[in-house]
Amino acid sequence: MDRTGAFELARRARRFMIKVGQDMVRFDSATNPITEEQIHAYLVHDDGFLRVPVLVRGELLVRGYTEELYREAFGEAARPAPAPEEGAGL
């Protein structure tokens, strides 16, 4: 996806979770809107194309990947992983 497409994708999102190195940057259009400069810095690679991976879930745009980040994006941050069922896979 080129720069124009990345900006269009970002304009449809209301919330952002962006992995930057070891840190997480968050934006919310109601309290902390993302700027055009931040969209370019965090979502567009030097070659002019969208940085990947990107997950769009409703009004949430997630850039980057960690298991914890995706758990939060899918609303599972507070839930522990389920234990395997007894006899599963037998």
pLDDT at 72: 92
Percent of the chain with pLDDT over 70: 83
More confident site: 70 or 90: 70
Task: Count how many residues are written for the chain.
Answer: 90
pLDDT in tens, 27-69: 999 999 999 999 999 999 999 999 999 999 999 999 999 999 9
d(CA 48, CA 66): 24
pLDDT at 32: 94
Domain spans of the chain?
3-73
The closest alpha carbon to 8, from 41, 47, 46, 50, belongs to 50
